[in-house]
Structure 1
Amino acid sequence: MVSDRRYHPIQTRRKRVKSIILRGLGTATPPFYVTQEEAYEYFFTHFSLKPAERDLYRRILLDGKIKGRYLGMDTKADVLETDPDRLLARFLKFSRSTAIAAARRALAEAGVEPADISGLVVNTCTAYLCPGLSSYIAEDLGLRTSIRFLDLMGMRCGAVIPNLEAAAAMLVRSDEGPVLSLAVEICSATIFPGHEPELVVSNSIFGDGAAAAVLDLSKENAQDGLVKMVDFAAGLCPRYREELRYRTEGGRLRNHLSRRVPVIGASTVMEVASGLLNRHGLSRNDIAWWAVHPGGTAVLAQVAKKLELDVEALRFSYSIFKNYGNMSSPSVLFVLREILDSGRPQPGQKGMLLAFGAGFSAFAELIEFSSGSHHKPEPPETKKNDGWHDAEYWKPGTKIENITKC
């Protein structure tokens, strides 16, 4: 299942050894914020809910761990929109503005001007556009017309890691300037009222956001940037394809989310992560920082179990889920941003990004923190066990078969 791709130091035309580094990282959300209590009141008032459906909304929205979510909407009434054309227009409006905000923050941290960007990679799964978002992003930022660009579609929550890998490949092939990597999702454009538990869960936990990363080649023998991009790994497990996907109904995207997703996701990322660690002669104890996609408390609990990690190791993923919900593909970079801001990683420490998505796919990235990451304030005090691992949104008593290798 695991691919074997690795990124060694780059040999430029002058034979100087360079590394791929993350020079700037920016995150952004739409301005409209809704607490889970407000969402419950609105759903209760405007949706025709069956008793079991209402109870599940209550359990997730009122008793769950998410405080609130940022949504690409002008008013709460946008939740009721079902016209595909209007939904697409709303997606385009908020995906552009949110992505641009994240990109400008990343560029500012990197000290890079838009005109310096030589490549652009954009991923999204919450709407289909032709041309893709790259055309709009390039226009809004004022990027050069000779830019190399790529749009990634259909990969869902794991997509930002192959996005970063594609951006790294652009740097490998050409030393023409930094490459901008952008992940943006407007999950609220796919809200789909319905009585099925998977729709209740989807409507209750997904939020909107964007993350941008500026990738560059390091200066000769320098420890610059925030992190060094060491290596990538991926896996594809088609036998579980139907467990996590979008379907189109009436011109709209309808989420399909099986009860088995937490176990399948944890099993697939464990396999990919283990392969990547073995390739570099590392163990899990060599990883100081884990940035795991915050797909939900059940997902994180299963990942911690499979990787034999203490819940404290995933505290930054839990924090992002609590404050933003599941934003799909940008989420893991929100986690990395919080690690940089609050975790005080030391130069030379290793980290790993883990995410999974449609396909069924899983992705991992091995990183090494640089001196540029060590300038953040002391982290807030955290509790060892906040009850995160006990949370479970799926129907009690559900039996899930053991997931084996693909």
Structure 2
Amino acid sequence: MRVSVITDGAAAPSAAPHPPAAPVAAATVAAVHTALPPHRYAQEELTEPIGDLCLAPGADRALLRRLHASTGVRARHLALPIERYAGLGDFGRSNDAWIAAGLDLGEEAVAGALRGAGLEPADVDLLVCNSVTGVATPSLDARLAGRLGLRPDVKRLPVFGLGCVAGAAGLARLHDYLRGHPDDTAVLLTVELCSLTLQRRDDSRANLVAGALFGDGAAALVARGRAAAEGGGSGPAVIATRSHLYPATGHLMGWDIGAGGFRVVIDAGIPRTVREHLGRPLRAFLAEHGLTTDDIGTWVCHPGGPKVLSAVTDVLGLPDDALDGARRSLAAVGNLSSASVLHVLQGHCGSRRPEPGTWGLLMAMGPGFCSEFVLLRW
């Protein structure tokens, strides 16, 4: 793994003459499992209740309704029944709800992923746990260890602040760890309950976009080191990773944290930034492995929203259907922040699993502004 900052004047690495004939994987994805709350709503069922939460009585709802109709989302799952959100009142109550629901979903996601991999909780050597929608000390991973039956000596790494990029970055860091621990099994858990960050009586465009786009859920991924993955798994091998921070873009995405909790920052310039900055470093990363975008048979992209997916498709010159997995995920559950890219990956580990030998590229973007690329091979 290498971290770099790309500017318009930087020279791209020269392309390798040929792709590696037999890439050696440090990690293999053994299973992915998504857990969703039981409270599922069609998008049109949420428009007016969310308007009641976010807008002042009698306020014009035209923008709210346009946003809900244009996100590409058909349904979402919420941590709580929609009628309970008005009674949360403050950040403390919202965070308590995040802990309670997050533990249940996290347990379900990890247990499901371990079952899918044919493993037991005692087989887990490292648990990386990410969330950007709540805080807890002891962290979720510590609280889950006993519930799941993990070993007392399990290594734990709680992560906060990566936002939507964390699903891809978490898989990349599992790969880094397993390079040095080839006999180990590592689990990535992402828990994102975005609805609990919705700000009451906040009619800002960012809050209304979040209320129209984001859903709740958790996802867990089991990865095994080279020596441990003798039996393979339902997912691909991880070949290489790359991280990028883009200069002067920190204002585009994140949280403004105040008395009401996490107030979302989503800048309208994100799709433009993707068009201007994503293509060059991604192509340079592929070129180092003797590949181009034409060699990638499966794209596993975080579904940031329709405009972001269109920007990715355009800047990379992809076929119109290349990101259909991301669009299906967005329609079915909304944007799950860090859990979304794992939800998309899960779709490529079952009936839609690519043919052996297919190259894949898993990617996500998030606060920083940053991107994470993970080169895969099935």
Identify whether the pair has TM-score above 0.5, normalized to the shorter chain.
yes
Work out whether residues 269 and 354 of structure 1, in 8 Å CA contact, stay in contact via their aligned partners in 2: no
State how 1:19-30 maps to structure 2 within 5 Å. 19-30=26-37
**Equivalent residue for 1:373?**
none
- Letter of the aligned partner of 1:208 in structure 2? D
Q: 1:199 aligns with which of 207, 210, 219?
A: 207
Are 2:157 and 1:157 aligned? no
RMSD: 2.2
**Equivalent residue for 2:173?**
166
Worse-matched range after superposition: 333-342 or 322-331? 333-342
Distance in 2, matches of 1:344 and 1:167, equals 22
Q: 2:258 aligns with which of 241, 249, 253?
A: 249
Distance in 1, matches of 2:362 and 2:126, equals 22
Work out whether residues 273 and 354 of structure 1, in 8 Å CA contact, stay in contact via their aligned partners in 2: no
Distance in 2, matches of 1:264 and 1:221, equals 39
Helix, strand or coil at the partner of 1:185: strand
Worse-matched range after superposition: 270-279 or 104-113? 270-279
**Equivalent residue for 1:59?**
66
Going from structure 1 to structure 2, the CA distance change for 1:160 and 1:267 (only over 3 Å counts) comes to: farther
Distance in 2, matches of 1:211 and 1:268, equals 29
Going from structure 1 to structure 2, the CA distance change for 1:119 and 1:195 (only over 3 Å counts) comes to: same
Going from structure 1 to structure 2, the CA distance change for 1:143 and 1:263 (only over 3 Å counts) comes to: same
**Equivalent residue for 1:284?**
293
**Equivalent residue for 1:395?**
none
Cα drift, residue 264 of structure 1: 1.7
**Equivalent residue for 2:124?**
117
Work out whether residues 269 and 356 of structure 1, in 8 Å CA contact, stay in contact via their aligned partners in 2: no
**Equivalent residue for 1:133?**
140
Distance in 1, matches of 2:229 and 2:142, equals 36
Going from structure 1 to structure 2, the CA distance change for 1:80 and 1:39 (only over 3 Å counts) comes to: farther
Helix, strand or coil at the partner of 1:189: helix
Cα drift, residue 30 of structure 1: 1.1
**Equivalent residue for 1:356?**
365
Going from structure 1 to structure 2, the CA distance change for 1:58 and 1:348 (only over 3 Å counts) comes to: same
Q: What do residues 167-203 of structure 1 show as CA deviations (whole Å, max 9, x unaligned)? A: 2233222345311111111111100131211111011
**Equivalent residue for 2:353?**
344
Going from structure 1 to structure 2, the CA distance change for 1:153 and 1:47 (only over 3 Å counts) comes to: closer
Distance in 1, matches of 2:86 and 2:302, equals 25
- Letter of the aligned partner of 2:282 in structure 1? A
Q: 1:230 aligns with which of 236, 239, 257?
A: 239
Cα drift, residue 151 of structure 1: 1.1
Work out whether residues 26 and 182 of structure 2, in 8 Å CA contact, stay in contact via their aligned partners in 1: no
- Letter of the aligned partner of 2:204 in structure 1? E
- Letter of the aligned partner of 1:278 in structure 2? A
Normalised to the residue count of structure 2, the TM-score between the two structures is 0.88
Going from structure 1 to structure 2, the CA distance change for 1:271 and 1:150 (only over 3 Å counts) comes to: farther
State how 1:378-389 maps to structure 2 within 5 Å. none
Distance in 2, matches of 1:79 and 1:293, equals 30
Q: What do residues 95-154 of structure 1 show as CA deviations (whole Å, max 9, x unaligned)? A: 111111111111011111001111111111111222322212212211111111111110
**Equivalent residue for 2:111?**
104
Q: What do residues 318-365 of structure 1 show as CA deviations (whole Å, max 9, x unaligned)? A: 000011111100101111111233423001101011100001111110
- Structure 1: gaps of 5 or more residues: 5-16, 370-406
Work out whether residues 190 and 220 of structure 2, in 8 Å CA contact, stay in contact via their aligned partners in 1: yes
**Equivalent residue for 2:12?**
none
**Equivalent residue for 1:326?**
335
Cα drift, residue 301 of structure 1: 0.4
Work out whether residues 269 and 355 of structure 1, in 8 Å CA contact, stay in contact via their aligned partners in 2: no
- Letter of the aligned partner of 2:90 in structure 1? D
Distance in 2, matches of 1:155 and 1:343, equals 29
Going from structure 1 to structure 2, the CA distance change for 1:344 and 1:21 (only over 3 Å counts) comes to: closer
Work out whether residues 240 and 376 of structure 2, in 8 Å CA contact, stay in contact via their aligned partners in 1: yes
Work out whether residues 79 and 191 of structure 1, in 8 Å CA contact, stay in contact via their aligned partners in 2: no
Q: Percent identity?
A: 29
Cα drift, residue 82 of structure 1: 3.0
- Letter of the aligned partner of 2:223 in structure 1? L
Normalised to the residue count of structure 1, the TM-score between the two structures is 0.82
Distance in 1, matches of 2:272 and 2:94, equals 32
- Structure 2: gaps of 5 or more residues: 5-23
Q: What do residues 43-89 of structure 1 show as CA deviations (whole Å, max 9, x unaligned)? A: 34555458885111111224542111111114422255231111110
- Letter of the aligned partner of 1:146 in structure 2? D
**Equivalent residue for 1:396?**
none
Q: 1:184 aligns with which of 163, 171, 191?
A: 191
**Equivalent residue for 1:213?**
221
**Equivalent residue for 1:11?**
none
Choose between structure 1 and 2 for higher RCO, CA contacts under 8 A separated by at least 6 residues. Answer: 2
